[in-house]
Amino acid sequence: MSRRFIFVLLPVLFWISELPAQVSLHDSVIFTPLVYATFGYQFPGGDFSKQFGSNSSIGGGFMLKTKTNWLFGVEGNFMFGQSVKNSDSLLKNISTKEGFVIDANGVYAEIVYYERGFNFLGKIGKVIPLLSPNPNCGFIVMAGAGYLQNKIRIHVIGNSAPQLWGDYLKGYDRLNGGFVLNGSLGYLYLSNTRLLNFYLGFDFMQTWTTPYRLRDFDTGKQDTRKLSSQLYTIKISWFIPLYRRAPKQFYLY
């Protein structure tokens, strides 16, 4: 474990250790850390939509909810999909006139194209306790910023085509990355019994990315465009609040 990770983790553990031993979620607004896992289904816009279709994302995050219902957190997601547009022309310079790549065995290589990517975000938001079982949950408005990177993953079944080994493969993957702004609107449910805690909402990302490869082999040139893209996401998350539930009261007569 690196020293940098320890320095980040220690303050978090200190905050958790300082929490009241027992809290009543039903009665009052509380401070609590929240750990969560999340899944999203994304629809691209802008330059992304010219290269990819819809995709999925899976990830997780850590969030602090204050006694005034402000939220501060970090989140990371892995993006994956199987809808790659114009893939038939991507390898045109190493394909036969029928569009096939001949592998080392002298037969047509089986090639599958995927979208792959990831993003990391810092986020801030506010809980608006409407239509909620307690004052700690309700509608959420959030904003964030961070980094996003994506590419085309070209998978040759059996890894039988030397034309697509190592650095040769990188010349076709359209790797790009850059700054992203994020906004979301949804509903957070934290049950009084702590058994059911989830989020359902809509997420929007505006990205400004730059191609990273020095040359795309299919064009023979470097891609110098500044890409502007959007991602529209339907997201569901499962939360684990890190607090201890207040004990039930018993009365003796």
Q: What is the pLDDT of residues 99-111, one digit of tens each?
A: 899 999 999 999 9
Q: What is the pLDDT of residue 147?
A: 98
Q: What is the pTM (predicted TM-score) of this model?
A: 0.85
Pick the CATH number of 3-241 from 3.30.390.30, 1.20.1250.20, 3.50.30.30, 2.40.160.20: 2.40.160.20
For residue 180, give every residue at least 6 positions away whose Cβ sits within 8 Å of its Cβ, in sequence order, or none: 119, 121, 145, 146, 147, 148, 205, 206, 207, 208
Supply the DSSP string of 156-222, one letter for each residue. ETTS--GGGSHHHHHTTS--EEEEEEEEEEEEEEE-TTSS-EEEEEEEEEEEEEEE--S-BTTTTB-
Q: What is the pLDDT of residue 244?
A: 60
Q: What is the pLDDT of residue 48?
A: 96
Task: From 50, 112, 47, select the one nearest 82 (Cα to Cα).
Answer: 112
Q: What is the pLDDT of residue 28?
A: 83
Domains of the chain by residue range: 3-241
Q: What is the pLDDT of residue 23?
A: 56
Q: What is the pLDDT of residue 4?
A: 53
Beta bridge partners of 81: 115
Q: Which residues of the chain have pLDDT under 50?
A: 1-2, 5-6, 8-10, 12-21, 247-253
Q: What is the pLDDT of residue 10?
A: 46
pLDDT digit string, tens, across residues 140-187:
999 999 999 999 999 999 999 999 999 999 999 999 999 999 999 999
